[in-house]
């Protein structure tokens, strides 16, 4: 119920008497039903002055002006009372003078409050609507690729091989105020500043790997641990379909992240720089050659790969290092995918190719899949020549030469006896660490599922 307060404010100018009376009528008609009931009349007047406007006095007003006899004041009846017409003179000047001025003032104050409240509500609704429109526009721009969040921006760049530190720096340079987003224009500007050329892209990937020599290049023999794993991870990210080879289309997807302004000419330049075999794809060894050593002419780079596809890259020690890292990565992924036994069966199948190539006679060839494989062959009761499924290397030692445990991975027993000293057991462990890999890097470049599926064709 509105509180009526008498003020010293002068009477407002109104369009006419009717407007003024209608304002006061609306103030009394609190429930908005178009009439003023006894209780509504009492409520306003007694709040104004309870001593003057007793229930008896209010009843007199209602009795004098309720010509319809329904116990309520219609607008015309209220008009007659408030303007002192008819029987009003018998009640004294109750509806004239100061009372009318006080009621008119309070009614206009109430109207102003209501109007201000409506205006504020409208302003609030407009602000909310504007914020909603902004949110919808941002969502549409994100859906169309015209805008990305800071988290997505950093994740895409680090996924493509850029270091997190550099990706965050690029985001900080290009983020939009307030939203924490990056739009296409700012993203393009940042990428052009940091990766304007193929050499810039190469440098960014080298930096992301984490090992850069004094000459600004990466040498394979200097890459260890997490850096080697990062190089493999980047290759896997570029090889979207897990085929073991980065196609032109996949390379284009990477460039769209690293620098969306680069066109087909740059894409072909990059492919030509990395694709040493000129077969339209980039395998892991080509990728490693591209990232390692000083820039060479293509003939010199190809010579590092032995001049033909599938030949040993770099030198034997470096090749073994890369093959070991690849195999360990695939073995760990197989375990995570709950495909460890399938993976080991695939390695067991591929072992036949290595046996045929090496000339070792497989008199046992019993598979023991891990984890928790037995330490001694249950068929020949020996462990003279065996292959570790965890790293893919041949062993003539009691334990895996690469430190793998049978508690984690299984093994295959190749033979239990030395055949005329030709089995290779007289060579030291370092020889087999370099020359004893049973899988090629080309095989291990594939995803775990594709490697398992293709095992039958590897025999």
Please report which residue ranges of 243-297 form alpha helices under DSSP H. Answer: 248-258, 264-274, 284-291
How many CB atoms lie under 10 A from the CB of residue 17?
11
SS3 state at 385: strand
Domain 150-304, CATH number (from 1.25.40.420, 1.10.238.10, 2.60.40.420, 2.40.110.10): 1.10.238.10
Length in residues, the chain: 459
> pTM here?
0.62
What is the per-residue pLDDT across 327-346, written as a single tens digit (0 to 9) for each? 998 998 999 999 999 999 98
User: Quick check: 156 pLDDT over 90?
Assistant: no
Per-residue pLDDT at 388: 92
Fold identical between 1-143 and 150-304? yes
C-beta of residue 265 within 8 angstroms of C-beta of residue 245: no
Per-residue pLDDT of 405-456, as tens digits, reads 877 889 999 887 776 666 778 888 888 888 888 887 778 888 888 888 877 6
The label of the residue with tokens 């609704």 reads 125
The ranges assigned to domains in the chain are 1-143, 150-304, 338-458
| Residue of 179, 186, 155 whose CA lies nearest to 168 | 155
If we measure between CA atoms, which residue out of 255, 246, 163 comes closest to residue 203?
A: 163
Cis ω for the linkage preceding 128 (within 30 of 0): no
pLDDT digits (tens, 9 = 90+) for 83-131: 766 544 444 444 445 666 667 666 666 666 666 666 667 777 777 777 6
CATH number of 1-143: 1.10.238.10
């Amino acid at each position: 119920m509105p509180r009526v307060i008498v003020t010293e404010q002068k009477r407002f100018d109104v369009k006419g008497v009717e407007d003024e009376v209608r304002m006061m009528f609306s103030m009394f008609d609190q429930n908005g039903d178009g009439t003023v009931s006894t209780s509504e009349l009492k409520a306003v007047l007694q709040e104004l002055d309870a001593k003057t406007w007793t229930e008896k006095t209010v009843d007199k007003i209602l009795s004098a002006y309720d010509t319809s006899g329904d116990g309520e004041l219609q607008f015309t009846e209220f008009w007659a009372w408030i303007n002192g017409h008819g029987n009003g003179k018998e009640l004294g000047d109750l509806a004239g003078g100061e009372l009318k001025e006080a009621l008119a003032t309070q009614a206009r104050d109430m109207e102003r409050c209501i109007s201000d409240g409506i205006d504020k509500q409208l302003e609030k609704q407009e602000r909310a609507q504007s914020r909603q429109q902004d949110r919808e526009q941002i969502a549409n721009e994100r859906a169309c690729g015209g805008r990305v969040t800071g988290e997505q921006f950093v994740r895409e760049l680090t996924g493509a091989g850029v270091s997190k530190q550099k990706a965050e720096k690029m985001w900080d340079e290009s983020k939009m105020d307030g939203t924490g987003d990056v739009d296409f224009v700012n993203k393009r500007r940042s990428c052009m500043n940091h990766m304007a050329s193929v050499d810039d892209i190469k440098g960014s990937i080298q930096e992301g790997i984490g090992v850069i020599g004094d000459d600004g290049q990466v040498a394979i023999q200097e890459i260890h641990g997490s850096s080697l794993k990062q190089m493999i991870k980047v290759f896997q990210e570029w090889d979207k379909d897990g085929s073991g080879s980065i196609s032109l289309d996949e390379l284009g997807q990477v460039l769209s992240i690293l620098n969306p302004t680069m066109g087909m000419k740059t894409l072909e330049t990059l492919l030509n720089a990395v694709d040493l075999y000129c077969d339209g794809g980039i395998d892991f060894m080509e990728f490693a050659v591209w990232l390692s050593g000083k820039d060479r002419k293509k003939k010199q780079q190809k010579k590092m790969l032995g001049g033909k596809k599938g030949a040993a890259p770099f030198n034997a020690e470096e090749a073994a290092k890369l093959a070991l890292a690849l195999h360990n990565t695939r073995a760990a992924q197989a375990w995570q995918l709950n495909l460890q036994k399938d993976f080991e069966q695939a390695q067991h199948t591929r072992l036949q190719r290595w046996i045929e190539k090496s000339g070792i006679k497989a008199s046992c060839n019993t598979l023991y899949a891990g984890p928790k494989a037995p330490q001694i062959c249950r068929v020949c009761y020996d462990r003279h020549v065996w292959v570790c499924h965890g790293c893919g290397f041949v062993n003539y030692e009691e334990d895996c030469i690469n430190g793998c445990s049978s508690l984690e991975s299984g093994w295959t027993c190749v033979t239990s006896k030395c055949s005329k000293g030709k089995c290779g057991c007289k060579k030291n462990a370092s020889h087999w660490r370099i020359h004893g890999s049973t899988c090629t890097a080309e095989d291990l470049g594939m995803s775990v599922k594709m490697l398992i599926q293709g095992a039958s064709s590897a025999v």
